[in-house]
Structure 1
Amino acid sequence: MASISLSGVTKRFGPVTAVDDLQLDVQDGEFFVLLGPSGAGKTTTLRLVAGIERPDEGRVLMNGEDITDMPPAQRDCAFVFQQYSLYPHLTVFDNIAFPLRSPMRRTPPAEIKQRVERVAQTLHIENKLHRKATALSGGEMQRVAIGRALVREPRVFLMDEPLSSLDAQLREELRVELKRLQRQSGATVLYVTHDQVEATTLADRIAILEHGRIQQVGTPLQVYEDPQSLHVAQRLGAPAINVLPAEWFEGSGPPRATHVAIRPEDVAVGAGNGPSHFDVIECSLVKHLVVAERSGVEVRAHTRMDQALHPGAPVRLSFPPDRCLFFDASGQRLPV
């Protein structure tokens, strides 16, 4: 496998800067996720690593070797796309075997059979090998696309939102499968998604990407618990982090704070009136979620309750100071 480094990489398309002075290091054998909204530069970053695009500035390195000018075919990267991109006239076996029959990787037929069958068994599609790709379900087609990448045994896997077009149950099933396969193989994976659930369940480390720039890198827990900006704090968490007026916290935070954020699970819930009086908007015992309102500001609390609070009922909410995060007007985190 291989490590990947992008050093000062910038890529422009006319007046649009898709990737802006990107600094990124992916370790050998790491499952690394780029998380960001549409247009953040995630796919462009993958294409730069694959060699499909060439940077206007900066360098791309693999195992410390500068590969910026190396053709895609020589980089030994396997790309898995959002859409399956299978050959409809070929069987599952031939779709998976296709990379092994290319002129650069000409492989003996006996070895092709062995490797295809091993990959198919790993992905639980061994009984589909003689079917045409068009006779498969969406989940099966994506497994074939992943199998076509796995069979090559490349140095790096590049995955561009491969699960986003599947239904919720299939996404969950294949998330588990992908992580298991990566752990078994020790593969280096660079994976992009806009889905925070995928990011936090799959990643060894996450990079939050916005407007072509990395906002923060860390393990999912590090980024969740210690966001360095309000934007990063809002990228992770369901329900989303509460953003409250600084006036509610006068005297208990940095004087430059204009926003105070707190995770729903850190909000303390009590019954009745009080100085922190809120009115209940909704309450779900199934989701352990209370949504309340005060002065036009909604607050979400994630807590276990014995009985539901009715809409309009008064409730006390409190915000432990040691669980509050303070941000300045530009959205940057302030030390307490």
Structure 2
Amino acid sequence: MIAIKNIYYMLSYAFTVLNKKGYRKLETENFENADDLYAAILIKGLSNQLRRGLQHEYTETKEALSMVRGKINVTDSIKNLDVINKKLHCSYDEFIVNTYMNQIIKTILILLLKADISKERKKKIKKILLFFNQVDILDNRKIKWNLRFTRNSQLYKMLISVCYLVNERLIQSNSDGSKQFMEFIDEQRMSRLYERFILEYFKKEFPQLSVTASYIPWSVDDGITSMLPTMKSDVMLSYKSDYLIIDAKYYAKTLQNYYDVHKIHSGNLYQIFTYVKNLDMNLKEYSVRVSGMLLYAKTDEKLVPDNIFQMSGNQISVTTLNLNCDFREISKQLNQIVFEHFEI
């Protein structure tokens, strides 16, 4: 379980735009559920964006006009008999607000109006929607989330990411002709937020460390790697000659249960072991120490992993991070990982 307020802190680290002064008020508010939190973040973010203006983009428009605008398409003008009607077929660029990102935001805002959020926030969303009159609505089940962002659109990146989380929690279904909503937590989506939070937390709180999500090269004898899968760490911490690869895992169940015997997920253990051994082999000549850690988000299970293994000369640890507590305790847990491993 994750305390609702802690989702805000996780987002704050994952998207640094939330660390700005204008969002600090949200830290003192209480939220009934995650949707209420997401709504508050979107309202605040969009209120800031509206002061600067919503995203616009140029799009090519083609139509028959009585006055010349942009480029004249002679062939289409003759073909469509526009000349007879004293018109010319023109193509021109139009600066519109009906962008795909704005369409996503409007779609999610409308979904939130039907969700379990406070009346005050619903009222604020309705006011914001007035600025989206010229924006189309999408089918939320067919939204394409693979978008490109620039340095100047970091606020939009955060807004779209929150919209993504909202959409995964609110799935529309039809029952007896009436629209209902089913709430669920998507492990994969929360897993991505969890991974990014861990990475950005260490980046901000421990500037003396090198903190990356690095690719790990295969250590092969013949140099042929064309058919091998890519190895990319969630988090790689390094300080002087010490390396710690962290694989952040967010599951509903942290352990496998086989005939009432609890085991660590075999695939997870194989993966972190492979990462560690390949990095160790690649850096062997530099006399470094490479360790690995499976860091699970703590669940409601009574039995949770807390183990340290010595495997072929490398340390592999398996532990959990409790996200259902005061954020100061979460910070303490993460800090302890660094203090124990790097002794700084």
Bucket of the pairwise TM-score, normalised by the shorter protein? under 0.3
Provide the TM-score with structure 1 as the length reference.
0.28
Provide the TM-score with structure 2 as the length reference.
0.27
* Higher relative contact order, chain-length normalized (CA < 8 Å, sep 6+): 1
Bigger proportion of residues as helix: 2
Larger Rg: 2
Bigger proportion of residues as strand: 1
